[in-house]
């Protein structure tokens, strides 16, 4: 399904890390939520797609990615189960979701040990770059920028096809999540 390409973006935002800059901030977060804008850019610099929506992350295994525009889709990962609802196509799919299938935002929830095992970490100011040791990793390169005076996070990742996925997250800093916030809605077409 077309939303699955958005999953890698989702794995890098709430991480249990104590490196300078963004990783220090993420290491103390139990949850993160807000709105997102995402664009997919070709290796030639042409914007291929743009999406907007809402996201939620909760340690250790909860992920919510709701695309509101241009299509309406919801991806929810709870304890190893990924559910994808495409409201426009009226389709629901479910599959097992292992730690190896992490999305970009879920990497943000990873421990420092897990990040060190998978990536070379380089920090420069408020930007941390993660480069995968495995050249066949779904996300070979990811950068995370935190703007401390704002609720903004900027992520940029390069996928194996050379496409760049830019993601701007606007955090709802006052919202605290619990597992109840990850209840999968019922549909009339499932």
DSSP 186: P
List, for residues 137-161, the tens digit of each pLDDT value.
888 899 999 888 889 999 999 888 8
- State the pLDDT at residue 87: 95
Residue 186 is assigned to a structural domain of this protein: no
Residue 183 is assigned to a structural domain of this protein: no
Residue 37's contacts (CB-CB under 8 Å, 6 or more residues apart) are: 50, 51, 52, 167, 168
Instruction: Give the domain range for residue 28.
Output: 2-174
Residue 182 is assigned to a structural domain of this protein: no
Q: What is the CATH number of the domain that holds 8?
A: 2.50.20.10
Closest CA to 94 of 112, 71, 109, 78: 78
Residue 36 is assigned to a structural domain of this protein: yes
Residue 184 is assigned to a structural domain of this protein: no
Closest CA to 61 of 112, 96, 17, 23: 96
Residue 189 is assigned to a structural domain of this protein: no
Compute mean pLDDT per 10 residues along the chain, 190 residues long, and list them: 44 38 82 94 93 92 93 91 95 86 73 86 91 88 89 90 91 92 94
Query: How far, rounded to the nearest angstrom, does the alpha carbon of residue 148 sit from its chain's CA centroid?
Result: 19
- State the pLDDT at residue 133: 94
To 10 degrees, the CA torsion angle through 117, 136, 84, 113? Answer: 0
Residue 190 is assigned to a structural domain of this protein: no
- The pTM score is 0.81
**Total tally of structural domains belonging to the chain:** 1
Q: Are 40 and 16 in contact (CB under 8 A)?
A: no
Residue 187 is assigned to a structural domain of this protein: no
- State the pLDDT at residue 5: 45
- State the pLDDT at residue 99: 66
Phi, psi of 24 (to 5 degrees): -65, -45
Closest CA to 142 of 56, 15, 1: 15
List, for residues 62-80, the tens digit of each pLDDT value.
889 999 999 999 999 988 8
Q: Which helix (H) or strand (E) holds 118?
A: helix 112-118
- State the pLDDT at residue 137: 84
């Amino acid at each position: 399904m077309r939303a699955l390409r958005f999953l890698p973006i989702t794995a890098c935002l709430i991480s249990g890390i104590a490196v300078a800059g963004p990783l220090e901030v993420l290491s103390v977060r139990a949850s993160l939520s807000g709105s997102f804008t995402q664009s997919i850019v070709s290796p030639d610099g042409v914007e291929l797609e743009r999406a907007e929506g809402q996201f939620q992350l909760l340690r250790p295994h909860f992920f919510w990615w709701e695309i509101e525009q241009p299509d309406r889709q919801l991806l929810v990962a709870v304890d190893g189960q990924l559910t994808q609802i495409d409201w426009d196509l009226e389709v629901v799919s479910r599959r097992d979701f292992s730690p190896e299938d992490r999305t970009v935002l879920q990497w943000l929830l990873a421990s420092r040990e897990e990040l060190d095992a998978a990536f070379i970490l380089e920090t420069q100011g408020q930007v941390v770059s993660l480069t995968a040791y495995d050249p066949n990793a779904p996300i070979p390169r990811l950068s995370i920028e935190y703007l401390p005076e704002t609720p903004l996070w900027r992520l940029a990742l390069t996928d194996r096809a050379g496409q760049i996925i830019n993601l701007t997250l606007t955090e709802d800093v006052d919202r605290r999540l619990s597992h109840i916030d990850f209840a999968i809605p019922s549909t009339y077409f499932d």
